[in-house]
Amino acid sequence: MCSYREQLLSDPEQPPITDILESVKQTRRGAAMLESKRIKTEIPGPKSKALMERRKAATPPGVMNALPIFASEAHGALLTDVDGNTFVDFTGGIGVLNVGHTDARLVEKVKEQVERLTHTCFAVIPYEPYIELAEKINALVPGDFEKRTMFVNSGAEAVENAVKIARYHTGRNGIMVFENAFHGRTLLGMTMTSKVNPYKKGFGPFATEVYRVPAPYPYRCPTRQDCSGGCQGDCFNFVERAFTGVVDPGSLAAIVVEPVSGEGGFLPFPDFYLERLREVCDEHGIVLVVDEVQTGFGRTGKMFAIEHSGVIPDIVTTAKSMAGGLPLGAVTGRADIMDTVHPGGLGTTYGGNPLALAAGLAVLETFEEDDLLVKANEVGERVMGAMRDLQEKHPDFIGDVRGSGPMAAMELVQDAASKTPDKERTGRIVEAALQEGLLLLTAGQYGNVIRVLMPLNITGDQLDEGLSIMARAVDSVA
Ligand SMILES: Cc1ncc(COP(=O)(O)O)c(C=O)c1O
């Protein structure tokens, strides 16, 4: 462990932000910021501002930044920017850092690997870590049958390959997906993705043979029933209706579903819905692909979110937190499906790079050694409790609190009666939190959802700090 890291994680000179901010009361944001010992400059600070100018001149705006600070280093759940300000990180690089930033064991394994072997291309000369991680993922993914895993570099590539495999196996073309879905930004990935702006606007023509149906969303039920007390289940009719009015189920290669829509606003699919999907897939010979890119590796309190329902998928796609910050994605599926594709039909130059695999192996060790699933559930209870308290306090502003375990979110509206999405005030909460030392992210079709994706091993103090800043930000904006 480097001394900076030790200092950051345990320095008594870095008191909980909550203590400091308590004394600040309702002063201007700037004043609060300057009194925090973790926040040392205005936000963004001068170095971040200067880098942002260079960034504008050197890189296109299409690749945007949700937050205006430049990262310098990060450890555990704390991130320090180039101006020396340290933030509690509730974004986790969009769900990539379930084991925290730069976990010492992960760093060590990657260092060992980089000194020994960095690349051969698995398709040219194989190496053991690929096999070792595949064996471990095969054992973890639900399903009491033989499985195979192939590695790629990202979530979108995992989804693309899952579709290729399902098409090859079934000899069919059609793919069914859902509203609020996010499956990536490649041509097929963005076609399967639901949200138009920014992901699809202006990028057509899209891939063919992708059919979308409304998804369960109790707060904004697509059947227009009052599902606020829990999903009534009638929304499954959209799938059945699509089989009559939109696409022959016999022409569908796969149904692809996120067990909890991530970018779509943290919307869990009810168990019964996933069970019915399994049934229709079995009935019509469709491959059930579960996209666990954001939900996987403990994000919902189980290793994979689909485990909550007991449904056994045919193929699971993973990425993000699998390798704690190194680029790695995977497709894991039933051997009889995965083995159909001819040799050479799948693969990529870098997919399953030895460094990313070393990180993936370290992530799994960390889960075991640190009991991360137990921690995930503890974090989930506290986060969900804090969000529910806020909703009780601001019932007209916080329309919905939902999620699964620590994958928790609140949906913000102009008023409870109209449920008009309040994207503007959602952005102001993120900004207010940033000024006080907390990194937050939005989500949702309307950009009016605050979601949290903090490392699962965040300390109790850091979690308290973050939740308390979040509450202050909500209070100040509400
Ligand atoms: C469920 C899901 N699938 C696929 C992707 C695409 O992953 P990547 O950005 O690594 O291509 C994401 C990314 O957020 C995701 O959340």
Compute the average pLDDT of residues 273-302: 98
Band of residue 336 on the pLDDT scale cut at 50, 70, 90: very high
Band of residue 228 on the pLDDT scale cut at 50, 70, 90: confident
Q: Report pLDDT digits (tens) over 271-280.
A: 999 999 999 9
Alpha-carbon 142 to chain mean position: 20
Contacts of 3 (CB under 8 A, 6+ apart): none
CB 185 within 8 A of CB 201: no
36 lines ligand 1 (CB under 6 A): no
262 lines ligand 1 (CB under 6 A): yes
Compute the average pLDDT of residues 219-223: 91
Q: Report pLDDT digits (tens) over 21-75.
A: 333 333 334 334 434 578 999 999 999 999 999 999 999 999 999 999 999 999 9
pLDDT at 118: 98
* H/E run at residue 408: strand 407-412
- Please report, for residues 7, 16, 72, 438, 467, the alpha-carbon distance to residue 11 in angstroms, rounded to integers and kept in the order given: 5, 11, 19, 18, 21
Is residue 12 over pLDDT 50?
no
Band of residue 325 on the pLDDT scale cut at 50, 70, 90: very high
CA–CA gap between residue 193 and residue 92 (Å, rounded): 22
CB 332 within 8 A of CB 149: yes
Contacts of 137 (CB under 8 A, 6+ apart): 149, 318, 322, 330, 332
96 lines ligand 1 (CB under 6 A): no
156 lines ligand 1 (CB under 6 A): yes
Of all residues in the chain, what percent carry a pLDDT higher than 90?
Answer: 89
Is residue 18 over pLDDT 70?
no
Compute the average pLDDT of residues 309-324: 98
Compute the average pLDDT of residues 167-179: 98
CA–CA gap between residue 146 and residue 242 (Å, rounded): 33
Strands 441-443 and 449-451: antiparallel
Question: In the CATH scheme, what architecture does the domain 105-369 have?
Answer: 3-Layer(aba) Sandwich (3.40)
CB 421 within 8 A of CB 448: yes
155 lines ligand 1 (CB under 6 A): yes
CB 335 within 8 A of CB 346: no
Sign of CA dihedral 42, 32, 431, 183: positive
Break the chain into its structural domains and give their ranges.
3-99+371-477, 105-369
| Cis peptide leading into residue 268 (ω within 30°) | no
Band of residue 268 on the pLDDT scale cut at 50, 70, 90: very high
Question: In the CATH scheme, what architecture does the domain 3-99+371-477 have?
Answer: Alpha-Beta Complex (3.90)
* Closest approach atom of ligand 1 to CA 258: 1
Between 3 and 476, name the one with better pLDDT. 476
Compute the average pLDDT of residues 143-156: 98
Q: Write the residue with the smallest CA distance to atom 4 of ligand 1.
A: 183
Q: Is 69 helix (H, G, I), strand (E, B) or coil?
A: coil
CA–CA gap between residue 162 and residue 156 (Å, rounded): 10
Compute the average pLDDT of residues 207-229: 90
* Closest approach atom of ligand 1 to CA 263: 16
Mean pLDDT of the chain: 93
Q: Write the residue with the smallest CA distance to atom 16 of ligand 1.
A: 294
3-state DSSP percent of the chain in helix, strand and coil, to 5: 40, 15, 40
What's the gap in Å between 182 CA and the centre of ligand 1?
7
Between 24 and 429, name the one with better pLDDT. 429
pLDDT at 11: 43
Buried b (16+ CB within 10 A) or exposed e, 431-450: bbbbbbbbbbbbbbbbbbbb
Compute the average pLDDT of residues 239-260: 98
The backbone torsions φ and ψ at residue 41, rounded to the nearest 5 degrees and listed phi first, read: -130, 175
Is residue 351 over pLDDT 80?
yes
pLDDT at 145: 98
Of all residues in the chain, what percent carry a pLDDT higher than 70?
Answer: 92
Give the DSSP per-residue string, 180-213: T----SSHHHHHH----TTTTTT-PSPPSSEEEE
